[in-house]
Amino acid sequence: MAEKIQKPRGTRDFYPEDMAWRRHLEARWRAVAVRNGFEEVDGPIYETLDLYKRKSGEGIVSELFSFRRTGGEVDYAVRAEFTPTLARMVAERANTMPKPVKWFAMPNLCRAEAPQRGRLREHWQWNVDVIGSDSPVADAEVIFTAVDLLREMGLTSQQVKVKVSHRDVVRRILLRMGVAEDKMIDAFTLLDRRDKITPDDFARQAAALGLDAATVERFNQVARTRLRSSDDWSRIVDDFGIPESDVTQLRLLHDQFHAFGIAEWCEYDLGIVRGLAYYTGTVFEIHETSGAERAIAGGGRYDNLIESFGGPATPAVGFGMGDVVLSLVLEDRGLKPTDVAPPADVFVLAATADAQPLVGPITAELRAAGLHTRFSYKTTTNVGKLLKDATNCRARFAVILDDKAASGTVGVKDLASGEQVEVARDALVEHLRDAI
C-alpha cells in the first residue's frame, strides 16, 4: 500500500461540515460589511515580492512563501496580507475614485511561520477599510463594523473588548521620557511584544533604547496603562507630563464611540501600538476578556501607505479579522453553531417498487424549479428509514411516492409538524413553493 501523503503543516482540510462553517462565517462577514455600506473587492493570490518589501521592509521576506519562475527575473510571494494589495489598487485609480472609498475583502492568506493555536500558515480573513477620510468618524465606523459582526455572532461587551490606542499620543509620551526619534519604531515594537516576553527581557530591551532604570519603569507603566473612559485621561496628562492637547484625537474618537453606541465595547490601552511601521494614528486590537486566545482582530490608521505605493497622499483606516481565532472564541463560548449546512427543501422517496422510477423525474422537476432537492441511493422502500435520511439532511418536506403516483397524486409530508397531505403531481411545484 502506498504511503499516505499528509497535508502541509499549518493548513486545514475542509470537509463538508468544516466548509459549511466557513461559508456561514463568510456570509456573516459579507452581510455585516454590506449593511454598513462597504463594497467587496479582491486581488491576486500572489503579488510581486517588492510589494511586501516596500510596505514592511526586507525583514518580511523570511515570513513569506516566495518564489521565482524558472528563467524568470521577478520574485513573487503568495499573499500574506491584503492591505498591500488594497493600497496598490487604490494607488492605481486614486485620481478617478470618489472619496471616501469603503471596501471589504475576504482573502485567503499564507504566511511562512511556525503554526500555533490561533495562528496557522493559511487562513481566511475579513478586511474592512475606509480610504480617503481622516475623520475620527471613519476610525469609529470600522470599529463599529467589527463590533456589529461580533454582536451578530452572539458575543457581548463583557466577553470582548476593543483595546484602542493612538501612536502619536504614545510617541509624544516616549519622546518626553527620552526615547530618541530614531529609536521610536524599536520602542513601538517592544511595547507591542510586552505580553510575549518576560519582565526581565522587557527591562533589558527597554534599557537598550537608552533609558535609565527609573525611565524603564515609567516605560513599563505606559505599556500597562488601561483606561476605561475619557474621564481617566487626566492620568495620562498628569502621569506622563503631556499637554491636554496631545490626547485630543483620543477624545474625539471616544465621542464617536458614543455616537455609534459602542463605547461600552471599547477601552484604552497605551501598550497597543501595533508594531508594524506603517501605522500612523489610531490603532486597536480586539480581545476576548478571558485572555485565552490571541487577538480576534487588529488594525488602525495607515495614512502614508498609499502614497508610498505611488498614489497621492491618502488617509486610510481598517482592520483584519481572521477566521481561526474567531472560530476558537465562538467555540470556547458555546456560540459556534453546528447546523449551518444548507438544509434541503425537499426529499423525494419511493414507498413502493412501482413508484421507484418516478423518483428521478420528480427530483429533476423540483430542482429545475429552484428547490434544493435530495433523494436516496438506497433501493429500499422502507419509508421509516428513508424519512430518517430526509431528517438527516434537514429537509423541510418529504415527497412520498406510492402506487397513486402513477395516476398523478403524491404525498407531501411536513417533517416539522408531521402533517401529510395529498397533492396533484402537476401542482407539486406550486404547492411546495407556497409552503416554503
255-295: pLDDT as tens digits: 999 999 999 999 988 888 886 678 899 999 999 998 888 89
Q: How far apart are CA 130 and CA 17, in angstroms?
A: 34
Q: Please compute Rg for the chain using Cα positions.
A: 28
Q: Looking at this protein, which amino acid is placed at residue 410?
A: V
Q: Reading across the β-sheet that carries 409-414, which strands appear in turn?
A: 373-375, 346-350, 397-401, 409-414, 420-424
Percent of the chain with pLDDT over 70: 99
Q: In the structure grid, which three cell numbers stand for residue 39, read together? A: 463594497
> Are the beta carbons of 255 and 158 closer than 8 angstroms?
no
- Angle between helices 248-260 and 167-177 in degrees, nearest 10: 150
Q: How far from the centroid of its chain's Cα atoms is residue 147's Cα?
A: 12
Q: In the structure grid, which three cell numbers stand for residue 366, read together? A: 423540483
Q: How far apart are CA 59 and CA 208, in angstroms?
A: 21
Give how far Cα 345 sits from Cα of 157, 209, 367, 373, Å.
Answer: 37, 65, 10, 6
Q: How far apart are CA 359 and CA 353, in angstroms?
A: 11
Q: Please, what is the average pLDDT of the chain?
A: 91
Q: How far apart are CA 436 and CA 433, in angstroms?
A: 5
Which residues are within 8 A (CB) of 6 and not within 5 positions of it... i.e. 6 or more apart?
A: none
236: number of Cβ within 10 Å? 23
Which residues are within 8 A (CB) of 197 and not within 5 positions of it... i.e. 6 or more apart?
A: 205
For 308-327, the pLDDT digits (tens) are 989 999 999 999 999 999 99
Q: Is the peptide bond before 115 cis (omega within 30 degrees of 0)?
A: no
Q: What is the largest CA-CA distance in the chain?
A: 95
CATH numbers and ranges of domains, the chain = 16-43+79-332 (3.30.930.10), 346-435 (3.40.50.800)
pTM above 0.75, yes or no: yes
pLDDT band at 243 (very low <50, low <70, confident <90, very high): confident
Q: How far apart are CA 369 and CA 192, in angstroms?
A: 56
For 369-412, the pLDDT digits (tens) are 999 999 999 989 999 999 999 999 999 999 999 999 888 999 99
Q: DSSP strand E in 141-265: where?
A: 160-166, 226-227
Q: How far apart are CA 143 and CA 128, in angstroms?
A: 9
Q: Which of 47-56, 139-148, 245-254, 335-344 has the least mean pLDDT? A: 245-254
* Residue indicated by cell numbers 418516478: 358
pLDDT at 174 over 90: no
133: number of Cβ within 10 Å? 18
Q: How far apart are CA 270 and CA 166, in angstroms?
A: 7
Q: Looking at this protein, which amino acid is placed at residue 254?
A: H
Q: How far apart are CA 192 and CA 169, in angstroms?
A: 15
Q: Looking at this protein, which amino acid is placed at residue 117?
A: R
Residue 275, SS3 per DSSP? coil
**Phi, psi dihedrals of residue 177, rounded to the nearest 5°:** -80, -20
pLDDT band at 231 (very low <50, low <70, confident <90, very high): low
Q: In the structure grid, which three cell numbers stand for residue 359, read together? A: 423518483
Q: Which of 99-103, 147-151, 204-208, 367-371 has the least mean pLDDT? A: 204-208
Which residues are within 8 A (CB) of 395 and not within 5 positions of it... i.e. 6 or more apart?
A: 343, 344, 345, 346, 347, 374, 415
pLDDT at 341 over 70: yes
